[in-house]
Structure 1
């Protein structure tokens, strides 16, 4: 059985939730204890206990099936994230404990109806990008078993790529939520630090850890993040979204790319990325090479400076009391943390801040940075010979991301000539997650690759809903594109969504004595549809925008031709007595064009 995408799954079972029990009998039968992508598979009793909670809520009338956004959706959890009653090992049997409480992200997903079916393999203590540093065995690539799966979230990526679950959770400190996605032809969402709580997550580097999401589609990853994310007082590094970032990229895409691309002699990866860049340019995107030195310097800091001491702190007593219980490569990396002093740690932070400021200044001129998710891939045998050097190569385009406080989205890209996936990653400033996802949805639709290793096709995308962090505003006059006040939108990170029309019960007037000239829109029993533009403005900037609107204009609620209600310009009735009724022209631009040509 290959599990469906979120939308397909939920649509199938909302009408008949009682059929979930039968579906899970088959799912449980498909989960093999011989599959080392799993460290722990939930028992039937553990699965049915979760289902029973949902059934009880529905049968009691407390909620309906439609109230569960993730009704019965099966998902997997990287085994450094706590699930109540299931063991957490972090890839180290001697470290194993059984938590009594769910991690915050797990609790939120369960409340939405999702079902945990198991815990997945990982590079021990989330230290590695390879998927081979585990006493439970190296997780194989889902396209070619001779190759690595990528890590540290190796098992989480594998079970999604093979269609065993709808989505999975990983973690990402140096690229662990992106590299496995690139190697397995799936989506890896590395959110802004602090959006998804790390309460109940075994830390690797607490200042840089993120809970990440693997899915077959960007739409699914975005849905899961919206449910799992949000401020959590239990996590001292949790942050509230400032609601100032744009909802999507600008109409004319402008992407940065590294001025010097490194593939470590891997011609297949280089050729695949070149095809992807050509595809982007063909779509109309502008690609601008930028100086990549600050990114590379910051990437080196993660393992070649005092930041590695965070991993020494995270491992804790087991490093001193049971060193032989640790993977030798992981133990060697963690031991390096003892070589740094408190002075070194402060200097590392100063260096990080300086480089991060430079990186964010560079990216401010672009929609995002586009990089290969990994510059190369290696076989499991090769990785055994050079475990540190090859791991370092994988992190070339990932290690700097969390240190610089950036968000990232790993996407499927053009395949290599040898049949292996070669993903790309888009990286943007903090809280630009929504813009990344909007692009990613369109990218997947245009590429139209099979999903993961399932040979399934991409389902039709649902109509995009306005983001809860933005206000959709209908503009009708001087704020339209090309008009004199449009800058009041664009300078506040508002983005154009589409042209539309109001419902038929509106009239449009050219107001007298206004500079620049402005129209007034008024509701009327006798009217016609009026042309408008829809813009999404960040919620935190909406008040500034409204404060600049002079009388007699204001912001109210408009009804569009499709019945949707949005915020939009309205006019005080008193100002219409000496105004010119221009309703017949159907819109401000049409009236101006005819007025000036007359």
Structure 2
């Protein structure tokens, strides 16, 4: 190995390359423990696997990589997730128990070849977004030690941002997998609710909780999600869905952002300017920003702690809190004991209201592909939060608390930093199942921002060039009109699990016509050799199960046939019958539907 082990970047690609050159995973384990000792932050881990036990786990992997995706990769586990061999404390010593088995998320990670290092600190019972509600030392923020580290997954975020381990597992109910990532300039993957199993987790609101991933980069985080995600038949809260493949970034993305009245930065002009800087990056990446009113989402957010949902936290530890209330952190106790003021009727009322709001607010996805919000309005110091523990914590959850309740997925990435260097992360939000869509854009935003990863002094790498072909179980479909990325009907592809593959012109064998009808649409007509032109298209991948329902909705005179593309490939796509194009205006000279649509706006 050419790089000194002490200087090795603890990301998946660097470790994989080093292992290919013969690096011993036992040496990596020793390096992890050396880094933990050198960091000298007793607030990161609550408990550690004995070094010799971890070394034995590394030796058991065998002498060389065996193809497993996380072979030889050390990782940490939030101490509300069970790992057999270490107690689960949820940051409450008196609550601690010895789990008989690993949580499924941990079991899957170990089966993929990863090596467990220890259990990370958290806001007690995962109740908080600040990272200071713990009887253990407070983890130090890796960007500025005067700032809170964020919570509740504080230790998990700091462990990655400090370069102690390549990734960690966390949890998220109200932002615990996002706020600490933003405050430490790393990535936080908050999957679709139910995509990661939650058995073996000390839950907060199990109906909407999820196991999350902290990593240096989007690609690393998504790779780990690919390991821990997927259906668990033994978990009644698991969703029967797979982690969607990660594809290229589409040329256009419709991005909802807070309107002027919905901007919340606590009066901090530097934080607002940083967000505007990230918005400029998004637009440069092909994002079309659409301002929307976020007040309805803020109302949903208030339900999580001001409504009866807090009773779920009480239910999880009911026997314990009633027997030993003094064992709880005073702020945690105040919040959870607030559940006693609500009735069962209140709980049913809140559930019914939430279901109504999900349907009402879900209509936004007909108009946009994702949302982009600040991960938090502004960063706060430890001193300020200790002096005002409730309201400042609530402020940090302004743009996070509503996400899980509404059944959305999210991805926190570092955004443009404030002028004073204080973190100012952003979060992408999408409907259930849009995890891959967010990752493609999130990786590009992270690279564009140029901010150093955590305390590591390295910027995010440029996005990986992803395969532009369909995977097994997918069918390629060529679109030429309003189904193009960022256009009015693209949502019909997205809601069926479609993902962008590549933008490519056809072979010069087609003419483009403007078809008559209530809604203008193009018709692509195959013509004789020598009389056609190359027309801009996009190739998308649809799950095989979604292909039939999608094409069944194609109106006459359109149909589906095989298109020949300029890159030498061919795929099924939209074509028009010759009779349907007869007499229709020829708009071939525009080169594609997007250019034609722009000409109408210009006129």
TM-score range, shorter chain: 0.7 to 0.9
Shift of 1:246: 11
Cα separation, partners in 2 of 1:236 and 1:50, compared to 1, 3 Å: same
1:337 corresponds in structure 2 to: 339
1:578 corresponds in structure 2 to: none
Q: Is the CA contact 2:483–2:489 (under 8 Å) kept in the aligned structure 1?
A: no
Q: Does 1:471 align with 2:471?
A: no
Q: Is the CA contact 2:185–2:423 (under 8 Å) kept in the aligned structure 1?
A: yes
1:451 pairs, out of 428, 435, 453, with 453
- CA distance in structure 2 between the aligned counterparts of 1:570 and 1:273, rounded to whole angstroms: 40
Shift of 1:211: 0.7
1:234 corresponds in structure 2 to: 234
Cα separation, partners in 2 of 1:554 and 1:275, compared to 1, 3 Å: closer
Give the alignment's Cα RMSD to 1 decimal.
3.7
- CA distance in structure 1 between the aligned counterparts of 2:154 and 2:368, rounded to whole angstroms: 32
Q: Mark the runs of 5 or more structure 2 residues left unpaired by the alignment.
A: 1-5, 512-521, 529-533, 576-587, 593-603
Q: Does 1:294 align with 2:304?
A: no
Alignment deviations for residues 53-106 of structure 1 (CA, whole Å, 9 cap, x no partner): 3218x7xxxxxx242111101111110111121221111111111212111111
Q: Mark the runs of 5 or more structure 1 residues left unpaired by the alignment.
A: 59-64, 522-528, 572-588, 594-598
Shift of 1:453: 1.6
Shift of 1:434: 0.5
Q: Is the CA contact 1:243–1:540 (under 8 Å) kept in the aligned structure 2?
A: no
Q: Is the CA contact 2:483–2:493 (under 8 Å) kept in the aligned structure 1?
A: no
1:544 corresponds in structure 2 to: 549
Cα separation, partners in 2 of 1:483 and 1:8, compared to 1, 3 Å: closer
- CA distance in structure 1 between the aligned counterparts of 2:279 and 2:317, rounded to whole angstroms: 41
Cα separation, partners in 2 of 1:554 and 1:234, compared to 1, 3 Å: same
When the two structures are aligned, how many residues end up with a matched partner?
551
Q: Is the CA contact 1:121–1:154 (under 8 Å) kept in the aligned structure 2?
A: yes
2:268 corresponds in structure 1 to: 266
Cα separation, partners in 2 of 1:242 and 1:92, compared to 1, 3 Å: closer
Q: Does 1:144 align with 2:144?
A: yes
2:125 corresponds in structure 1 to: 125
- CA distance in structure 1 between the aligned counterparts of 2:155 and 2:269, rounded to whole angstroms: 28
Q: Is the CA contact 1:370–1:427 (under 8 Å) kept in the aligned structure 2?
A: yes
Q: Is the CA contact 1:245–1:432 (under 8 Å) kept in the aligned structure 2?
A: no
Q: Is the CA contact 2:247–2:500 (under 8 Å) kept in the aligned structure 1?
A: no
Shift of 1:508: 7.8
- CA distance in structure 1 between the aligned counterparts of 2:213 and 2:336, rounded to whole angstroms: 26
SS in 1 for 2:403: coil
Shift of 1:129: 0.3
Alignment deviations for residues 319-357 of structure 1 (CA, whole Å, 9 cap, x no partner): 011111110100111101111111010011112112222
1:44 corresponds in structure 2 to: 51
2:389 corresponds in structure 1 to: 387
Alignment deviations for residues 379-437 of structure 1 (CA, whole Å, 9 cap, x no partner): 11111111011111111111111111111111101112222111011111111111000
Q: Is the CA contact 2:510–2:524 (under 8 Å) kept in the aligned structure 1?
A: no
Shift of 1:161: 0.7
Shift of 1:31: 1.7
Shift of 1:22: 1.8
1:535 pairs, out of 540, 544, 547, with 540
Shift of 1:128: 0.2
SS in 2 for 1:534: strand
1:96 corresponds in structure 2 to: 96
Alignment deviations for residues 287-326 of structure 1 (CA, whole Å, 9 cap, x no partner): 2221222101100000111101001001232101111111
Q: Does 1:498 align with 2:502?
A: yes
1:54 corresponds in structure 2 to: 61
- CA distance in structure 1 between the aligned counterparts of 2:22 and 2:565, rounded to whole angstroms: 35
- CA distance in structure 1 between the aligned counterparts of 2:377 and 2:182, rounded to whole angstroms: 10
Cα separation, partners in 2 of 1:264 and 1:532, compared to 1, 3 Å: closer
1:574 corresponds in structure 2 to: none
Q: Is the CA contact 1:160–1:216 (under 8 Å) kept in the aligned structure 2?
A: yes
2:74 corresponds in structure 1 to: 74
1:156 corresponds in structure 2 to: 156
Cα separation, partners in 2 of 1:216 and 1:232, compared to 1, 3 Å: same
1:419 corresponds in structure 2 to: 421
- CA distance in structure 2 between the aligned counterparts of 1:10 and 1:388, rounded to whole angstroms: 43
Matches within 5 A, 1:567-582: 568=572
- CA distance in structure 2 between the aligned counterparts of 1:250 and 1:207, rounded to whole angstroms: 32
Q: Is the CA contact 1:14–1:71 (under 8 Å) kept in the aligned structure 2?
A: no
1:369 corresponds in structure 2 to: 371
Q: Is the CA contact 1:489–1:545 (under 8 Å) kept in the aligned structure 2?
A: no
- CA distance in structure 2 between the aligned counterparts of 1:34 and 1:291, rounded to whole angstroms: 42
Q: Give the TM-score taking structure 2 as reference length.
A: 0.82
Q: Does 1:108 align with 2:115?
A: no
1:191 corresponds in structure 2 to: 191
Q: Is the CA contact 1:186–1:217 (under 8 Å) kept in the aligned structure 2?
A: yes
2:15 corresponds in structure 1 to: 9
SS in 2 for 1:362: helix
- CA distance in structure 2 between the aligned counterparts of 1:299 and 1:520, rounded to whole angstroms: 56
Q: Is the CA contact 2:453–2:460 (under 8 Å) kept in the aligned structure 1?
A: yes
Q: Is the CA contact 1:13–1:71 (under 8 Å) kept in the aligned structure 2?
A: no
Alignment deviations for residues 262-310 of structure 1 (CA, whole Å, 9 cap, x no partner): 2222232222222222333444533222122210110000011110100
- CA distance in structure 1 between the aligned counterparts of 2:129 and 2:82, rounded to whole angstroms: 21
Alignment deviations for residues 153-182 of structure 1 (CA, whole Å, 9 cap, x no partner): 000000111111111111000000011011
Shift of 1:366: 0.8
Cα separation, partners in 2 of 1:482 and 1:554, compared to 1, 3 Å: closer
- CA distance in structure 1 between the aligned counterparts of 2:438 and 2:234, rounded to whole angstroms: 28
- CA distance in structure 1 between the aligned counterparts of 2:505 and 2:302, rounded to whole angstroms: 53
2:531 corresponds in structure 1 to: none
Q: Is the CA contact 1:449–1:458 (under 8 Å) kept in the aligned structure 2?
A: yes
1:582 corresponds in structure 2 to: none
Cα separation, partners in 2 of 1:424 and 1:530, compared to 1, 3 Å: closer
Cα separation, partners in 2 of 1:201 and 1:556, compared to 1, 3 Å: farther
1:399 corresponds in structure 2 to: 401
